[in-house]
Amino acid sequence: MDILLLGGSKFLGRAYAAEALARGHRVTTFNRGVSRTDLPGVEAVHGDRTSLDDLRRLVDGRQWDAVIDTSGQQPHDVATAARLLRDRTGHYGFVSSVHAFADWPALPVDADSPTLDCAGDVGPDQPFANALKAGCERALVDNFGPATAILNCGLLIGPHEPIGRLPWWLDRIARGGRVLAPGAPENPLSLIDARDFAAFGLDLAERSATGRYVTTSPIGSATTGEFLEACRDATGSDAEFVWTADETLLAAEVAPWVELPLWAPVTDGWHGTWRADPATAMAAGLRIRPLAETVRDTWAWLEGGGRAEVAYRQLDTPLGIEAGKEERLLRT
């Protein structure tokens, strides 16, 4: 197959490119060529997806069997790409997010859940909002047509993760000693390795499958305790986990999700965080590798120089609790 990746050099896009090359497909990537280097073996076309001239240069004289869009954030940009590509490919796979669902993270969601209110024809350069992913979905269908697969992504982890949620925990646990562990060890997590996500997305593209797929691991497939234990095992650490109730952490003004990455307190507004149901994706062939394998591979990547790729930030917010604050909580 001839495959176009809108993106293709960073984390999930890189995972798509690596998997597609391994399957023997011919891969074109389209990105700015700024944040990461394209993999050897791809045809790398550099340009800005917000530039109509760059998009026209990309599509001039080209056809693809499938397009996979890992970089669409603005409905206007997705609409423009969809219009230019609809006569040049038979399949468009779009990586959306569980953020697009109106009820998430407060309540459980599945592939039939309503999405947030955002029109597909809004103007360019909208300020960041979760609703933009829902607008991107509408822009795609409105401008490309029904031959689309929308993959609502859960929490991605694995080698080459640029934000640094799993890397932060690995680094913290590797330092050893008493480690602040959020909530309770039996609290659920639902994470997906970017490589498993990419393999599934390519499976859909190879079959020209359409529809919506919540793409994450099954509800209850892992726990916080199993996650931290996997980090300890991978690093060979002597860390001692000090489990601390959600109420204690919230009273101490520990910020969920960022000061203790992946921590979602079991309280109002967060109950659906790890309850996005991937039943449609599992039925369509999504395969999830063991969490411990992802953790081990990520640690090996970090130790091999991967930290240079990690921002340890979520947008403008640094990840991780300050050492003094953690120590004060450990003494309580």
CATH numbers and ranges of domains, the chain: 2-155+193-215 (3.40.50.720), 160-189+221-274+290-331 (no CATH)
CA 234 vs. chain centroid, Å, equals 22
ω into residue 108 within 30 of 0, thus cis? no
Residue matched to tokens 């999405």: 115
Number of Cβ within 10 Å of residue 125's Cβ equals: 9
Tokens found for residue 140? 């795609």
**What integer pLDDT is reported at residue 35 of this predicted model?**
84
User: Contact, 242 vs 179, CB < 8 A?
Assistant: yes
Structure tokens at 241: 């986990």
Among 9, 311, 6, 315, residue whose Cα is nearest residue 162: 311
**Segments of the chain with pLDDT less than 70:** none
pLDDT of residue 265: 97
At residue 77, the 3 state secondary structure works out as helix
pLDDT score of 332: 86
Enumerate residues 6+ apart whose C-beta is below 8 A from 263.
182, 183, 224, 249, 254, 256, 257
Q: What is the pLDDT of residue 32?
A: 96
- Cα gap 196→192, rounded to integer Å: 7
**Strand, coil or helix: what is 212?**
strand
Q: Give the start-end residues of each E strand in the chain.
A: 2-6, 26-31, 43-46, 66-69, 92-97, 148-153, 155-157, 178-182, 188-189, 191-193, 211-215, 222-223, 240-244, 256-257, 260-261, 313-314, 317-318
Tell me whether residue 287 is exposed, middle or buried, using C-beta atoms within 10 angstroms of its C-beta: 0 to 12, 13 to 18, 19 or more: exposed
* Residue 125 DSSP label: S
pLDDT in tens, 34-84: 989 999 999 999 999 999 999 999 999 999 999 999 999 999 999 999 999
3-state DSSP assignment of residue 319: coil
Quick one: tokens of 162?
């640029």
